[in-house]
Amino acid sequence: MARGKPIYRAVRTIAGRAIDVALIVENRIKSYNEELMKKRETSPSEEIIIEEKPIEIYSIIVTPGSKAYVYFEAANSASIFKAIKNIKYIKSERLVPVAKEELMRLIKPKPVIEMINVRDIVEIVKGPFRGMRAQVLSVDRNKNVVMLSILEAQFNVPITVPADYVKPVKKTVSGV
């Protein structure tokens, strides 16, 4: 059977319970679909095949940092409603539509090193130089480190820090 494009929906949960909700829904989907398969095998009447459809949720996502939302990738909204019914940790059973791109941005953030180029201005967010601004002297994408020159320092001493320690502040226009 040809599948349509999946839909993406968010459901609000009680704070800190998103992982619990995801695990409960996972169990429900598995047991519901297994039972339905058994039922279809033992009494393959048309009624069951037409009326009772399996829960078609493809994946359940709890994004890093978010503690009160669970995201679903499913074939249809009916499947999600069926799966989240009467879970006490769910605050509202209203489904919030989410774009796939938005969800991808949440689950797979672009590594900082890919956004940094030589001569960019960055802010150091970790380590002994935290809070200082610096200019990028070189980027080593293999080792995931950047060489910086701290703007506030009186002497120009290049330092090497892991790329995760910096946050891009200002991009330099290429060719300038």
Partner 1 sequence: MPVRGKPFKACRRCKALVDKKAEVCPICGSREFTDDWEGMIIVINPEASELAKELGITKPGRYALKVT
* Beta carbon nearer to partner 1, 107 or 151: 107
Mask for 29-48, x = binds partner 1 (CB under 8 A): xx------------------
Question: Do 18 and 68 touch, CB atoms closer than 8 A?
Answer: yes
98 binds partner 1 (CB under 8 A): no
Question: Do 70 and 22 touch, CB atoms closer than 8 A?
Answer: yes
* Token reading at 106: 């949440």
6 binds partner 1 (CB under 8 A): yes
Q: How many CA atoms lie within 13 A of 152 on its CB side?
A: 8
Q: Which stretch binds partner 1 (CB under 8 A): 85-93, 103-111, 116-124, 139-147?
A: 103-111
23 binds partner 1 (CB under 8 A): yes
Question: Do 65 and 92 touch, CB atoms closer than 8 A?
Answer: no
Is the torsion defined by CA of 57, 61, 62, 65 positive or negative? negative
10 binds partner 1 (CB under 8 A): no
The binding site for partner 1 (CB under 8 A) comprises 3, 5-6, 19, 22-23, 26, 29-30, 56-65, 73, 75, 100, 103-104, 107-108
